[in-house]
């Protein structure tokens, strides 16, 4: 056998798929990633119901679970295949979400100047993030699994200002609902692919 092994065949297929703009189907790590976010959301919501005041914010430590999983996945991917362009682009797209922090800070500063309550700033920001994500569902390649995230974020944002629950609890429930529903959709898509004889 030459040095050309199966891993390279996969890398070639990934290259062709990326250059041709063919969407990658759902993968098992999408399922686990969403499930971990759902679990983190549940922990956040549960913690805020048990704790009070400043301590509530510590519930967000649970978010480290999916973050750690993402980092582990990235490291494993780099070691494994040397980084296929498609997966590298996915990670880059996920990292680019951090760029939203810049307009958000600008918006928060502007809102503070205009005397808009911080709760409304938080709610509108989350709503707009949900709206932005809706683009991924509507435009090709249509990612149906993102839809629950859009709904959870937009609905949760509208609930935050008027809810008797703390905003952190609502955010936790939002993460939980979005992650769980998205994981269910990915699971169904994977099942369908397995039935059709494909699996990732």
Q: For binding to other proteins (CB under 8 A), which residues are involved? A: 1-2, 4-6, 8-9, 11-13, 15-16, 18-20, 84-85, 89
Contact 37, 69 (CB under 8 A): no
> Of 1 and 114, which CB lies nearer to other proteins in the complex structure?
1
Residue 148 Cβ vs other proteins, minimum distance, rounded to whole Å = 30
Contact 44, 63 (CB under 8 A): yes
Residue 123 Cβ vs other proteins, minimum distance, rounded to whole Å = 36
The Cα–Cα gap between 128 and 170 comes to 16
Residue 199 Cβ vs other proteins, minimum distance, rounded to whole Å = 12
Residue 176 Cβ vs other proteins, minimum distance, rounded to whole Å = 35
Nearest to 107 by CA among 132, 127, 131, 124: 124
> Of 88 and 159, which CB lies nearer to other proteins in the complex structure?
88
The Cα–Cα gap between 14 and 86 comes to 6
> Of 12 and 194, which CB lies nearer to other proteins in the complex structure?
12
Residue 20 Cβ vs other proteins, minimum distance, rounded to whole Å = 6
What's the first-to-final CA gap in the chain, in angstroms? 25
> Of 8 and 112, which CB lies nearer to other proteins in the complex structure?
8
C-alpha torsion 143→148→150→155, nearest 10: 170
> Of 51 and 81, which CB lies nearer to other proteins in the complex structure?
81
The tokens for 141 are 């390649």
């Amino acid at each position: 056998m030459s040095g050309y092994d199966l891993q390279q065949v996969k890398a070639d297929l990934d290259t062709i798929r990326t250059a041709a703009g063919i969407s990658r189907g759902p993968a098992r790590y999408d399922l686990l990633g969403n499930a971990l976010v759902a679990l983190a959301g549940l922990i956040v919501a549960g913690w805020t119901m048990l704790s009070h005041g400043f301590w509530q914010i510590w519930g967000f430590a649970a978010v480290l679970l999916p973050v750690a999983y993402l980092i582990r996945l990235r490291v494993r991917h780099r070691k494994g295949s040397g980084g296929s362009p498609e997966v590298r682009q996915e990670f880059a797209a996920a990292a680019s979400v951090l760029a939203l922090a810049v307009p958000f800070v600008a918006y928060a500063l502007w809102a503070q100047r205009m005397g808009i309550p911080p709760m409304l700033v938080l709610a509108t920001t989350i709503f707009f993030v949900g709206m932005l994500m809706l683009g991924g569902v509507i435009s090709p390649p249509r990612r149906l699994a993102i839809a629950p995230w859009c709904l959870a974020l937009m609905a949760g944002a509208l609930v935050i200002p008027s809810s008797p629950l703390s905003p952190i609890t609502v955010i936790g429930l939002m993460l939980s609902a979005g992650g769980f529903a998205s994981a269910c959709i990915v699971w169904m898509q994977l099942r369908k692919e397995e039935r059709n004889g494909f699996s990732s």
